[in-house]
Amino acid sequence: MWRYHPAMETSSLSLARPLALALLTGCATPWVHDPADVLATIGSVQQNDPAFAALVPKNATLEVLATGFAWSEGPVWIAEDGGYLLFSDIPPNKVWKWQSGRGKSVYLSQSGYLATIPRPHHIAPDEPGSNGLLLDPEGRLVLCQHGLRQVGRMRAPLGEPRPEFEAIATRWNGKRFNSPNDAAFHSNGDLYFTDPPYGLTRKMQDPEKEIDFQGIYRVTPDGEVTLLSRAMSRPNGIAFSPDEKTLYVANSDPERALWMAFPVLDDGKLGAGRVLFDATSMVPGLPGLPDGLAIDELGNLFATGPGGVLVLTPAGKHLGTLLTGRPTSNCKFGDDGRTLYITANESLARVRLTTRGRRVPGQR
């Protein structure tokens, strides 16, 4: 998560488990459009290349579904109970639920920080809540938790949420993480995640910061944590290509606002990364920085960044942008796979696409 403010510095799948295969080919939720769900429309669609039209309809509209959040983030589609979206609101430490015909409701309080667990020095985190949300291969809710400085799993069933968590990853080499931000499961059950400083009280200067860099990590199902890269200054959104041979990571640094593509090696580690797309020159004139990612079934990236949601090819060509007109944190596919849900500052929005999102572990 990176929150924009003018005063800030400007400076073929390797399926090792039958369960994973079943989840990767699981069913989706039918698309139903209820006009009563739409509060307003925002932004516009900008085409840079003719190939954009094959992914985004010419008449595509960004529909606002809910508002009133401090900083919305981390959407994940849940294909149960008729289908609904969960997403984080980080400063107030909540996860919200949005469902067609029912609107928004608080799903989980104390999503990233438990008031009963004080921090040393009695310093409360600035951004205490959960950030990225996703489902594990068994369909359980996993949260990147700023205040707890861990990747955790909710112990309760999806339909009976409670702020009770078990840790998936809390430390590397005995040192606490900064504030896990976003994550992606590989089909073998390994979890890859980023760890920038945004959940710390004073970010880079927080006296509780134990790791002097911002890393990309992997944790195996048995809890083994491996540092994969420390080369990025602000690693943020993270996602696999459809064949899982490439890991994409956003860098939310205004002085190096870009997306990296790392080859995934046979042992699960990362090879030398390449710059997929550099948006640094776009930062001064447009709100937002590289943040969350969603990948379609063709391997295209829907990447939140300067101006809204940039659509990039696997080769790094910028096909166009879904212009939201506001800082935009994240996006994920839902419904039948052709709806892109977007968390944009105080709002939750969606847009109907022609392309379909890639199936991911835990998706049903």
Nearest-angstrom CA–CA distance, 83 and 106: 16
What residues contact residue 98 under an 8 Å CB cut-off, 6+ apart? Answer: 65, 66, 84, 85, 87, 104, 348
101 and 37 Cβ atoms separated by less than 8 Å: yes
Q: In this predicted model, which residue has the larger pLDDT, 200 or 158? A: 158
Q: In this predicted model, which residue has the larger pLDDT, 120 or 228? A: 228
Confidence of residue 124 (pLDDT cuts 50, 70, 90): low
**Other CB atoms within 10 A of residue 290 CB:** 32
Instruction: Tell the CATH superfamily of the 36-352 domain.
Output: TolB, C-terminal domain (2.120.10.30)
**Predicted model pTM:** 0.91
pLDDT at 202: 59
Cα torsion through 231, 233, 238, 240, rounded to 10:
-30
153 and 162 Cβ atoms separated by less than 8 Å: no
pLDDT at 118: 53
Confidence of residue 221 (pLDDT cuts 50, 70, 90): very high
What's the mean pLDDT in 276-295? Answer: 97
% of the chain surpassing 90 pLDDT: 82
Confidence of residue 227 (pLDDT cuts 50, 70, 90): very high
Q: What is the strand order of the sheet 235-240 is part of?
A: 235-240, 246-253, 256-263, 274-278
What's the mean pLDDT in 117-121? Answer: 52
% of the chain surpassing 70 pLDDT: 87
Confidence of residue 23 (pLDDT cuts 50, 70, 90): very low
Instruction: Report the chain's C-alpha Rg in angstroms.
Output: 19
β-pairing verdict for 165-169 and 347-352: unpaired
**Other CB atoms within 10 A of residue 248 CB:** 24
Does residue 32 register a pLDDT over 80? yes
